Amino acid sequence: MPDRFKLNLVQRPRRLRRTASLRAMVEETVLRPADFIAPLFVVEGKGRPQPIASMPGVFRYGVADLVKECRALAKLGIPAVALFPKLDHRLKDADGTAALNEDGLVLRAVRAIKEAVPEMTVMTDLALDPYTSHGHDGVLTEDGRDVANDRTVALLARMAVLHARVGVDLVAPSDMMDGRVGAIRAALDAADFTYTGIMAYSVKFASAYYGPFRDAVGSAQAAGTPKLSKASYQLNPANRREAFTELALDEAEGADILMVKPAGPYLDIIRDVREATNKPVAAYQVSGEYAQLQAAARLGWLDLARTRRESLLGIKRAGADLILTYFAKETAAELA
């Protein structure tokens, strides 16, 4: 085709892609460190941070090192952390009683962070799976064939009040029990913690992408029983409409932030949620999403920096206001 050939076009979208500055001027989705919540794992002891084999670059921290990590995150402009404990198996039992220990690991960690980095927003997981010997998110019925919904909710409400007392900004129920948001809100209000917020795992799917997380909190081997699957309380990955039921219930019961988990495989759900509510929407880029990008990059198949950024842009573009991601620190440093 001769170079002198010209199409008679009025619209040429490439005009605004010609230079880096033009592309920046018309960029529609912008990532900021303030978009990120960093999930952090806390463990007893004063030794060096423990690497998690299935999550390269992610560690379990003793409380002192956890505080150092929070200081580093705050300097990068990351406003919030979400804490997850790994307990010694000797502290676990069928009823997760360690979750109600008033001097438990998570509560001590919150106190330390709030004293050292008071500007950091701290949120804590409300679920019993790190505390139960069977690895489920609640206490079981006598026959072990189901999670006892209402008994579990009562424990979660007590757990929320304990967390609020040590200064948690947001409690994050991830258990997917029916009615737990309303019960937690009522318990917090009755205890005069009206300003402790709830970030509800409103749309949490029974996903295969959680495996590395269960390694991190030490529940992988115990997760589930021959009689009971987490699919009995987490959403079916095939169901889109059902997500609206969970969303509407959590919003009506008083959730302040609504979350979709996982993020990457459920971008359509994030968009649905964004269009259905005026509440802030969070999305959790889970451990399996993190691990697959790390693995492909280590094999030389993907550019890690570019793919992690693109994956986060996709989550925000779909409608997430907040993103829980294990890439928070690296991406914030890159953005800075």
**Local structure of residue 146 (DSSP, 8 states):** S
Rounded Cα distance between 64 and 116, Å, is 10
Rounded Cα distance between 252 and 201, Å, is 14
Whether 294 contacts 304, CB under 8 Å: yes
Whether 303 contacts 294, CB under 8 Å: no
Annotated active-site residue 114? The verdict is: no
Find the catalytic residue in 92, 114, 204, 316: 204
Helices (H), 117-240: 149-165, 180-190, 211-217
Annotated active-site residue 204? The verdict is: yes
Find the catalytic residue in 86, 114, 261, 329: 261
Rounded Cα distance between 185 and 205, Å, is 23
Tell me whether residue 66 is exposed, middle or buried, using C-beta atoms within 10 angstroms of its C-beta: 0 to 12, 13 to 18, 19 or more: buried
Look-up of token digits 């919030």: 80
Among all residues, which ones are annotated catalytic? 204, 261
